[in-house]
């Protein structure tokens, strides 16, 4: 309920790692209605998919590197 109380799109992810332990993607685990509406997907259609599945260019973007840094360092980042 807390997630759906905001109008901003918010989602939670689990990191996906390769055999060497490097983060290579992020899997959707939870999202609010604003995220689902923006993506045009139901929760069932979204959960379990990865962010690069839905947005392949993201993998080589600065945003992806920031996601990885948050997981590896534990330091939060505010992004708009």
Question: Are the CB atoms for 36 and 63 separated by under 8 Å?
Answer: no
Query: Among all chains, which residue has been given the structure tokens 């109008």?
Result: 7
Q: How confident is the model at residue 75 (pLDDT cuts 50, 70, 90)?
A: very high
Q: Report which secondary-structure segment, H or E, holds 36.
A: helix 33-39
Region 43-51: mean pLDDT is: 94
Tens digits of residue pLDDT in 13-41: 999 999 999 999 999 999 999 999 999 99
Which pLDDT value is given to residue 79? 75
Which pLDDT value is given to residue 1? 74
E strands present in the chain: 11-17, 23-31
């Amino acid at each position: 309920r807390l997630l759906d109380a905001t109008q901003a799109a918010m989602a939670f992810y689990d990191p996906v790692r390769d055999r060497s332990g490097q983060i290579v993607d992020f899997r959707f685990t939870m999202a609010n209605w604003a995220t689902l509406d923006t993506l045009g997907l139901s929760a069932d259609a979204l959960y379990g998919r990865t962010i690069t599945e839905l947005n392949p260019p993201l993998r080589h973007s600065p945003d992806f590197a920031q996601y990885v840094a948050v997981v590896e360092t534990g330091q939060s980042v505010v992004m708009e």
